[in-house]
Structure 1
Amino acid sequence: MPDVILSEARTPAPALAARAARTGSSPVRDILALTARPEVISFAGGLPAPELFDAAGMADAFRHVLAEAPRRVLQYSTTEGDPALRAAVAARYSARGLPTEADDLLVTTGSQQGLSLLATALLEPGDVVLVEDPCYLAALQIFSLAGARVVPVPTDDGGLDPAALDEIAARERPKLLYVIPTFQNPTGRTLSAERRAAVAEVAARRGLWIAEDDPYGELRFEGEPAPWVAAFPGAEDRTALLGSFSKVMAPGLRLGTVRAPAALRRACAIAKQAADLHTSTIDQAAAARYLAVTDLDGHLARVRDAYRARRDALIDGLPAALPEGSRWNRPAGGMFVWATLPPGYDAAALLPEVVKHDVAYVPGAPFFAGAPDPTAARLSFVTHAPEEIREGLGRLRKALEGTRREG
């Protein structure tokens, strides 16, 4: 029998899935990697102030659950989540005017996973998703990976335009609307109660789901909160409300919740079983213990006071830091200020020079699903203390001095 001759030729491995090839990396994450040097004062990342974390309270919670129930908290758990944690979240929703039972909730590995589960449960390739323009970057990534066609809805200083939403929904026949109605990322804008009611009415009349993302709602510095979109007539049976512990406790916990109608919640639970079985048992147990014994509202009051002072430091310093003719808003809470430079400036093109001065922001263009605004930039005010913010704005002023408008 002749010897088998093995060819040295190699067949290339199959290509990546189209969804992986078409979905780019997050520019925010990339900028964070570039500005990780400790000397950089960064307005780029939406990073909660680490010195405000209740590290002692969290450590006590972990010690307690490990001492009291080690076999339970180190074991596999149910997909739906820790019953005590879901009950605590349900009680907080109910106390704020949205009646909720523990069984209405699914615990997720951060609210980011909640959005991914919703995309898996709801979207077929080619389905239309409507988003605010500009929009949270990671949501655009999630919808791209799901194969959805993302259609932007225009916004103004008051947020999403309900009349434009109605017109676009009639034309595009979307399956889902994604919205951050309170202290939106990236703009910091908040929808009024009137606009929320209009959004709910359009969704009911046009027949679409709503994904209402609320990571920042408890970071209000002034004014009265508006009800969730989920609470308005027409939205009750079609809204998935995403909650997060990242901004109120600690982002490292990676804990969130989805409050959704039963059929959708069950579909998300099945998707979660396929994704990770369940969220960390010990982290859920520690969070439930923390909520049971800690005055979270008192802790949040201290966080809000600190963030208010940081917002004010940023707003007060922007007139001297940005070129004449720039505009910016004054959010009533949250983490972000949205600024636009005068016409002819390009925030992305200027960023390399800015980073040389050990300061950074995020250019606004990548946040747009439609035509980008090259003059826009997002500035986070929560990571640094007021004196560091003032120093950072001084560096930004020097970096922008002498820059010329493009073309």
Structure 2
Amino acid sequence: MNPKFARRMIRFQESDLTPILRLAANPEVISFAGGLPAPELFPVEAMKKIAVRVLDEHGKRALQYSSTEGHLPLREKIAARTNRNLKTSLKAENIVVTTGSQQSLDILAKMYIDDGDCILCESPTYLGALSAFNACQPSYREVDTDGEGMVIADLEKALAEEKRAKLIYVIPDFQNPSGKTWSLERRKAFMETVSKHDILVVEDNPYGELRFEGTTPPSLKSMDTKGQVVVLGTFSKIFCPGLRVAWVCGEPAFLESFCNLKQAADLHTSTLSQYEIDAFLSEHDIEDHVRTLVSVYRERRDIMIRTMDEAFPSEVTFTRPEGGLFTWAEMPEKVSGRDLFMKALEKKVAFVPGGAFYPNGGHENTMRLNYSNMPPEKIVEGIRRLGEALREAL
């Protein structure tokens, strides 16, 4: 059979990055490629007991269909935590539970993007968001991005020139892939600028709670006076990604349309997973769990950065994030991240070549490194191997 795929499938042919990442999955390889939490920190024993208790006490409801919006007690808890963390004033009616943030990105694209509409994003930006958006066949305008966030002059220029701009996608806290965090001044200027336009702002916040030092700036949503900012949050980075439970925060009218599309996609997020997370939040201190993550990930970041200082050639620069899961390295222009990957793989170490994070191409002399998933001794060994590969490439 030779199926006649839709035109959008052109964007979903296997990329040249796919076989690269398959090679990185070899268990013999020290991989800094994924955005994976540390599996040894999953609360396995607690979740065993909770799973039994949920089935004993709520089995008939937890195994049944549920509302598209999500389990109300869980939505109430999410709203309360979001208000504490992001300085917002949300209620359960402002929350819809989703099957991972990836579903939120997919639905948002379907809601707002027609073929040829423009999405404004940071440069670089999250590869998974590009994958979700691509099904709707947008164009992308990369807005110049520095250490404080989107460059406002370039944002204003993009908004003036892109007549079909429909959506701005940003990760202001510990951005994926760069690890950078927007300054307070840049957040204020951004919101002042976008408030003059009829455009949706998607504030993706999967890493904001994983802060190692410094103070947390106010969220974009906390400065939103028009209801144009929607916030994405998830339990994947602070709890258990395998449960696939995340959420979107927005105005009730927006969420009504969002739910119409979610219902068409999956009816609702796993009822059982929602009951289990709700039970954990009721019976355990998730803030204490997050503090443990922060302590472990801070140590691993410190070890990775210190070893990069020692092992990388001086021509290579990299970010020193205050939190999150990633650091971002830039090499001299003559070095291709994809070529370096193959050289590094011979030494059994892997990363993600950075060119994939630029929707309009280029910037191949970059790479993303994750420090959350590997234990300290493997971080040291892997970075030393990568340093050898860099010196050979240079």
Please give the range of the TM-score, normalised by the shorter of the 2 chains.
over 0.9
Moved more, 316-325 or 266-275: 316-325
SS across alignment from 1:175: strand
Q: Deviations over 1:65-101 (max 9, x none)?
A: 1110111001111111000110110110122321110
Q: Distance in 1 between matches of 2:263 and 2:275?
A: 19
- Conservation of the 8 A alpha-carbon contact between 1:26 and 1:137: no
1:329 CA displacement: 1.0
1:402 CA displacement: 2.6
Candidates 222, 231, 239, aligned match of 1:231: 222
Q: Distance in 2 between matches of 1:28 and 1:320?
A: 29
Q: Deviations over 1:382-405 (max 9, x none)?
A: 00111110011122123334324x
- Conservation of the 8 A alpha-carbon contact between 1:143 and 1:150: no
- Conservation of the 8 A alpha-carbon contact between 1:27 and 1:366: no
- Conservation of the 8 A alpha-carbon contact between 2:105 and 2:133: no
1:82 equivalent in alignment to 2:41: no
Structure 2: runs of 5 or more not aligned: none
Q: Deviations over 1:325-371 (max 9, x none)?
A: 11011000000001111231111112111111110111111101235
TM-score normalized with structure 2 length: 0.96
Candidates 64, 68, 71, aligned match of 2:53: 64
Moved more, 270-279 or 260-269: 260-269
SS across alignment from 2:172: coil
1:49 equivalent in alignment to 2:43: no
**What are the residue-to-residue correspondences of 1:92-171 with 2, within 5 Å?**
92-96=81-85, 97-171=87-161
Q: Distance in 2 between matches of 1:156 and 1:44?
A: 23
Q: Distance in 1 between matches of 2:106 and 2:299?
A: 34
Q: Distance in 2 between matches of 1:33 and 1:371?
A: 22
1:270 equivalent in alignment to 2:255: no
Closer/same/farther in 2, CA of residues 366 and 219 from structure 1, 3 Å limit: same
- Conservation of the 8 A alpha-carbon contact between 1:28 and 1:44: no
1:324 equivalent in alignment to 2:314: yes
- Conservation of the 8 A alpha-carbon contact between 2:140 and 2:360: no
Q: Which amino acid aligns with 1:152?
A: E
Moved more, 177-186 or 165-174: 165-174
Q: Which residue pairs with 1:22 in the alignment?
A: 11
Q: Which residue pairs with 2:209 in the alignment?
A: 218
Q: Distance in 2 between matches of 1:281 and 1:339?
A: 41
Closer/same/farther in 2, CA of residues 70 and 187 from structure 1, 3 Å limit: same
Q: What percentage of aligned pairs have identical amino acids?
A: 41
Q: Distance in 2 between matches of 1:28 and 1:382?
A: 22
1:393 equivalent in alignment to 2:383: yes
Q: Which residue pairs with 2:182 in the alignment?
A: 191
1:302 equivalent in alignment to 2:292: yes
1:153 CA displacement: 0.7
Alignment root-mean-square deviation, CA: 1.5
Closer/same/farther in 2, CA of residues 292 and 204 from structure 1, 3 Å limit: same
Structure possessing the higher radius of gyration over alpha carbons: 1
Q: Distance in 2 between matches of 1:246 and 1:26?
A: 25
1:27 CA displacement: 6.6
1:32 CA displacement: 3.6
SS across alignment from 2:195: helix
Q: Distance in 2 between matches of 1:201 and 1:357?
A: 49
Moved more, 321-330 or 278-287: 321-330
Q: Distance in 2 between matches of 1:384 and 1:50?
A: 10
- Conservation of the 8 A alpha-carbon contact between 2:147 and 2:182: no
Q: Distance in 2 between matches of 1:42 and 1:18?
A: 35
Q: Which amino acid aligns with 1:62?
A: A
Q: Which residue pairs with 1:6 in the alignment?
A: none
Q: Distance in 1 between matches of 2:139 and 2:296?
A: 40
Q: Deviations over 1:245-290 (max 9, x none)?
A: 0011111011110101122211110001110000000000001111
Q: Distance in 2 between matches of 1:318 and 1:149?
A: 36
- Conservation of the 8 A alpha-carbon contact between 1:200 and 1:229: yes
Q: Distance in 1 between matches of 2:284 and 2:14?
A: 38
1:381 equivalent in alignment to 2:348: no
Q: Which amino acid aligns with 1:211?
A: V
Closer/same/farther in 2, CA of residues 249 and 340 from structure 1, 3 Å limit: same
- Conservation of the 8 A alpha-carbon contact between 1:108 and 1:258: yes
